[in-house]
């Protein structure tokens, strides 16, 4: 009989990046890489576990922006085009490395991996990974959480309650359309919580969400069991807190498993090592080198000299680290169970893209972890958070603290001297959208189309990703561009609605480009009183 | 997940980046998606604006908004239109109104602490003023006490001290930095099925079964079933992981009074909240 539970949560999210206006888009590669390195490997891991009769529970949030991209035929086609391009590169690499046995084996290994990925994408999953994920939800091993429509950072959007309402309601509506069921959990983008958002979620039928550790520990009144049992907000929403120890073991740059010297080095890709003439057909047509996924070296250490990657060693280390993680959770659970009047739950949320994309061996580690927990011990069991609430429906009542999982734990990542210029525009945009809804309560024809597109553009401008990019300095210009271009289109639509002069041809092109949420109800932005 | 780098300038002064960004145009010209001579966006120009991605420099609404940054810093931004006061957009200010005040007074943000009030109406005698440069448009304000609630008024303070507000902000709550002294003792049960969905779940194409006949298999080598993997406590080869890397100190793992699990009284429970606080590292996921 288990003494406690472990809830592994993977937050799968990418911003809506879709550029039909460009033949090749650098930023669309984020999506292609994540499909190959994260989403298909996670599906494969779950298939392997089910095939072997392993009892496991995994929770994922799949954001509406990512889900929209995964179900978009245009991006599915482009992904396949990129995959075929890389398969061709694999063939060339096998030939190029024939006199270098270690690299040759790796090239063949990658080539084979890409062929299998293609087979899985086309034949096994019929190009639609959402249907594949949902199959595991229907099988009871995967619980999928809903999330905000475009990953808006709700604490800073809450100046306009209509924005929070639209982000959450549309996210939930999209989930129901896509997965055919009502979501139990809702992932708050960036774990961004403020008192009041719980009421919004609860009113829409959500049972639980997850906060960063201090959202729970600094709640008022003080929770009895730290983050090892949920609390109920006064609204009735159950809130679980992230366990800091299990987070550190995976996330920490200094101590985390992904930094092991036997694991694959992310930053050493042949795109940057080989002659431009050779690699040019497989990078951006303008000669901009982009990752190909052919990475032949392991982390090795804090040195520029890198040893060749050995998959067997990496696989072994993934198993060892899975055992280590399980051991720590067992010890943790034994202690907690001895001092609590209930079975504790350890909540371990991670970005899904950490697994496979950044930490190449991550999906394998996860598969090992579930196997070991199922086969090698009795202290812990994996669980869905909704199952925990069914077993323990009585919990203490507390008002969680404002919190996020960003730098310093609050709003600073998305609000600082680099990106604060965004918010006057977002807030004013929401106020203008409220006015549009009030003026056009029952629109039709081109007016309806313009209102729907205005809502899409405003929602896309609200994505937390742009402020994050501007802050980190890695893709600053793109973040700025996306914010400004969505807002500019929004203003143009607003202007057209006011004057009655809507450019139908331009509107069609914008609808085609930013086609997320085709059935959007623009009245979700109606001004809320009280 | 991306690079660890931050960030904010909480220097209690105007933020030049805001004006720079608001007034700068054409930053999109160099964004990576358009690098290398590819077609730029095909949006025609927005009427009255010189660049497709230019945003309005003014919304012609007198307003002030507060946004909490963290426990000790709040961000304020404002817009002041001399002929418009909050709530009367498009109307001229009354004679002798804010426009005159601007000419004769110091622009300030007057903060009111409404933490302990019931109706969020502050005691007018309990406030503090932050003198601002009206043209800056935004300001980072340092707070000396976390966990408080505030709103602010944008206005002008005359030489004689008379304050003329022109806009009132939203109310914000600056987060606290410590667990509460009061422990939760009220248990409640929430009916999970109490929500009535307004509409049935929409029809959806049933997912086609993933073909199970051909197991995908893994790319990595299958583990050797005869090789016993080293246990955590025995394996000295695990880099940057050691046996002492357990989450609690040894003394805190002792069971209270030797009682079996589930029978510990509330007064015997170690302070798990405090332990969580010590273990917690902020920003580990998003740096």
Interval B229-287: pLDDT, tens:
333 332 323 333 433 344 333 233 333 343 333 334 445 678 899 889 888 887 776 54
Hey, what domains does chain A have and what are their CATH numbers? 4-71+128-264+309-408 (3.20.110.10), 416-525 (1.20.1430.10)
d(C-alpha B173, C-alpha B178), whole Å:
15
Over residues A172-216, the pLDDT tens digits come to 999 999 999 999 999 999 999 999 999 999 999 999 999 999 999
- In this predicted structure, what is the pLDDT of residue A511? 97
pLDDT value at B228 more than 80: no
pLDDT of residue B116: 82
Q: What is the pLDDT of residue B267?
A: 53
A235: tokens are: 């609204």
Measured between its terminal Cα atoms, the distance across chain A in Å is 50
* C-alpha neighbours within 13 Å on the C-beta side of residue A53: 1
Contacts with B186 from chain A: Cβ below 8 Å: 396-397
Partners of B218 on chain A (C-beta within 8 Å) are 44-45, 48, 364, 367
Residues of chain A with pLDDT under 70: 530
State the pLDDT at residue B222. Answer: 66
Count of the separate structural domains present in chain B? 1
d(CA A356, CA B232): 24
Identify the pLDDT of residue B279.
Answer: 84
Structural domain span for residue B106: 63-173
pLDDT of residue A457: 98
CB-based contact, B242 to chain A, within 8 Å: no
Q: Could B207 and A132 be called an inter-chain contact, meaning their C-beta atoms sit closer than 8 Å?
A: yes
Number of neighbouring beta carbons within 10 Å of residue B125 = 5
Assess if residue B68 is contained within a domain: yes
The 10s digit of each residue's pLDDT in A19-40 is: 999 999 999 999 999 999 999 9
Return the residue in B1, B2, B7 with the most chain A beta carbons within 10 A, the one to mutate for interface testing. B7
Chain B hits for A403, CB-CB cut-off 8 Å, are: 175
B183 touches chain A (CB under 8 A): yes
Asked if residue B97 belongs to a domain, the reply is: yes
Picking from B65, B68, B189, the nearest residue to A411 by CB comes out as B68
Give the model's pLDDT for residue B123. 72
Residues 6+ apart with CB under 8 A from B145: none
Q: Does B144 score more than 70 pLDDT?
A: yes
Check pLDDT > 90 for residue B49.
Answer: no
Contact A186, A52 (CB under 8 A): no
B39 lies in some domain:
no
- Mean pLDDT of all residues in B172-195: 86
Q: How far apart are CA A4 and CA A229, in angstroms?
A: 11
Please give the structure tokens belonging to residue A429: 């945009």
Q: Which of B2, B5, B8 to mutate to test the interface with A (most CBs of A within 10 A)?
A: B8
Q: Is B41–A491 a contact, with Cβ atoms under 8 angstroms apart?
A: no
Are the beta carbons of A341 and B264 separated by less than 8 Å? yes
Rounded to 5 degrees, what are φ and ψ at B219? -80, -35
Contact A341 B184 (CB under 8 A): no
Distance CA A327, CA B231 (A): 8
Minimal-distance CA residue of chain A relative to B279: A244
Choice between A83 and B96, residue whose per-residue pLDDT is larger = A83
Determine the pLDDT at residue B269.
73
Q: Least CA distance to A225: which residue of chain B?
A: B272
Residue B3 pLDDT grade (very low, low, confident, very high; cuts 50, 70, 90): very low
DSSP structural state of residue B228: P
B150 assigned to some structural domain: yes
pLDDT of residue A433: 98
Q: What is the pLDDT of residue B243?
A: 30
Closest B-chain CA to A411: B69
Report the range of poorest mean pLDDT among B87-101, B161-175, B246-260: B246-260
Judged by a CB distance cut-off of 8 A, whether residue B268 touches chain A is yes
Residue B32 lies in a domain: no
pLDDT band of B68, cuts 50, 70, 90: very high
| pLDDT at residue B252 in the model | 33
Q: Name every residue whose Cβ is closer than 8 Å to that of residue B45 and which is 6 or more positions away in sequence.
A: B51, B52
Residue B152 sits in a domain whose CATH number is 2.60.40.10
Q: Does residue B14 lie in a domain region?
A: no
- When comparing pLDDT for B42 and B160, which is higher? B160
Rounded to a whole number of angstroms, the distance from the CA of B21 to the nearest CA of chain A is 7
Contacts of B8 in chain A (CB under 8 A): 412, 415-418
Residue A252: the pLDDT is: 81
DSSP H or E stretch at residue A348: strand A345-351
Are B67 and A415 in contact (CB < 8 Å)? yes
B80 found inside a domain: yes
Joined together, the tokens standing for residue A328 give 């720590």
The pLDDT of residue A508 is 97
Any domain includes B256: no
Q: Among partner residues A22, A212, A254, which is closest to B33 by beta-carbon distance? A: A22
* Residue B203: predicted pLDDT: 66
Q: Please give the mean pLDDT across all residues of chain B.
A: 65
């Amino acid at each position: 009989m288990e003494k406690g539970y472990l809830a592994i949560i993977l937050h799968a999210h990418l911003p809506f990046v879709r550029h039909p206006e460009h033949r090749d888009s650098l930023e669309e590669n984020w999506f292609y890489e994540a499909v190959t390195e994260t989403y298909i490997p996670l599906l494969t891991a779950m298939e392997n576990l089910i095939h072997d009769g392993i009892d496991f529970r995994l929770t994922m949030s799949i954001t509406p922006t990512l889900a929209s991209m995964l179900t978009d035929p245009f991006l599915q086609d482009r992904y396949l085009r990129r995959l075929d391009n890389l398969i061709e590169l694999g063939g060339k690499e096998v030939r190029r490395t024939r006199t270098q046995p270690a690299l040759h084996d790796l090239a063949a290994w990658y080539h084979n991996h890409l062929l299998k990925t293609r087979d899985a994408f086309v034949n096994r999953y019929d190009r639609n990974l959402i249907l594949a994920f949902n199959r595991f939800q229907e099988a009871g091993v995967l619980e999928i959480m809903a999330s905000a429509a475009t990953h808006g950072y709700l604490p800073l959007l809450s100046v306009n309650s209509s924005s929070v309402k639209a982000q959450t309601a549309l996210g939930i509506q999209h989930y129901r359309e896509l997965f055919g069921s009502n979501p139990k959990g809702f992932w708050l983008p960036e774990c961004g919580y403020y008192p009041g958002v719980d009421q919004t979620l609860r009113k829409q039928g959500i049972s639980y969400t997850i906060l960063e550790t201090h959202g729970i520990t600094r709640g008022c009144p003080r929770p009895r069991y730290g983050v090892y049992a949920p609390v109920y907000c006064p609204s009735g929403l159950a809130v679980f807190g992230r366990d800091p120890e299990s987070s550190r073991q995976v996330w920490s740059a200094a101590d985390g498993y992904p930094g092991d010297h036997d694991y694959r080095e992310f930053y050493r890709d042949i795109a940057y090592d080989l002659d431009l003439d050779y690699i040019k057909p497989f990078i951006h047509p303008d000669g901009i080198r982009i990752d190909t996924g052919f990475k032949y070296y392991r982390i090795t250490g804090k040195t520029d000299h890198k040893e060749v990657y050995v998959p067997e060693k990496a696989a072994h280390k993934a198993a060892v680290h899975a055992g280590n993680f399980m051991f720590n959770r067992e010890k943790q659970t034994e202690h907690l169970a001895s001092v609590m009047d209930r079975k504790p739950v350890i909540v371990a949320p991670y970005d899904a893209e950490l697994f496979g994309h950044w930490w190449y061996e991550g999906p394998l580690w996860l598969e090992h972890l579930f196997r070991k927990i199922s086969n090698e011990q009795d202290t812990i069991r994996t669980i869905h958070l909704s199952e925990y609430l069914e077993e323990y429906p009585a919990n203490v009542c507390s008002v969680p603290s404002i919190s996020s999982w960003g730098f310093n734990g609050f709003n600073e990542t998305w609000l600082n001297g680099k990106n604060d210029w965004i918010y006057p525009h977002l807030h004013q945009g929401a106020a203008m959208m409220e006015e549009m809804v009030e003026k056009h309560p029952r629109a039709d024809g081109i007016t309806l189309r313009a209102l729907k597109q205005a809502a899409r553009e405003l929602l896309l401008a609200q994505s937390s990703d742009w402020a994050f990019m501007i802050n980190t300095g890695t893709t600053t210009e793109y973040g700025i561009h996306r914010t400004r271009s969505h807002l500019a289109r929004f203003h143009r639509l607003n202007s057209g609605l006011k004057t009655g002069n809507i450019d139908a041809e331009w509107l069609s092109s914008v609808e085609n480009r930013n086609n997320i949420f085709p059935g959007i109800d623009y009245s979700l932005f109606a001004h809320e009183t009280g | 997940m991306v690079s660890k780098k931050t960030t904010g300038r909480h220097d209690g002064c105007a933020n030049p980046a805001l004006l720079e960004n608001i007034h700068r145009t054409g930053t999109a010209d160099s964004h990576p998606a358009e690098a290398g001579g590819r077609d730029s966006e095909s949006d025609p120009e927005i009427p009255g604006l010189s660049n497709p991605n230019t945003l309005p420099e003014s919304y012609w609404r007198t307003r002030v908004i507060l946004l909490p940054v963290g426990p000790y810093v709040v961000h304020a931004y404002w817009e002041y239109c001399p002929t418009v006061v909050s709530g009367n957009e498009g109307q001229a200010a009354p004679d002798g109104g804010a426009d005159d005040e601007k000419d004769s007074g110091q622009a300030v943000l007057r903060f009111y602490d409404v933490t302990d009030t019931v109706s969020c109406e502050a005691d007018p005698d309990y406030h503090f003023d932050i003198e601002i440069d009206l043209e800056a448009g935004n300001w980072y304000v340092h707070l000396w006490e976390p966990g408080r609630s505030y709103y602010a008024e944008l206005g002008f303070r005359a030489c004689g001290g008379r304050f003329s507000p022109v806009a009132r902000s939203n109310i914000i709550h600056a987060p606290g930095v410590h667990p509460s002294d009061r422990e939760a003792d009220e248990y409640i049960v929430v009916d999970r099925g109490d929500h009535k969905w307004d509409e049935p779940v929409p029809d959806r194409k049933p997912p086609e079964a993933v073909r199970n006949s051909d197991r995908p298999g893994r790319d990595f080598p299958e583990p050797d079933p005869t090789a016993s993997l080293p246990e955590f406590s025995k394996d000295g080869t695990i880099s940057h992981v050691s046996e002492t890397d357990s989450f609690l100190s040894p003394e805190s793992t002792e069971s209270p009074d030797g009682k079996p699990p589930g029978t510990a009284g509330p007064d015997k429970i170690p302070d798990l909240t405090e332990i969580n606080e010590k273990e917690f590292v902020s920003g580990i996921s998003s740096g």
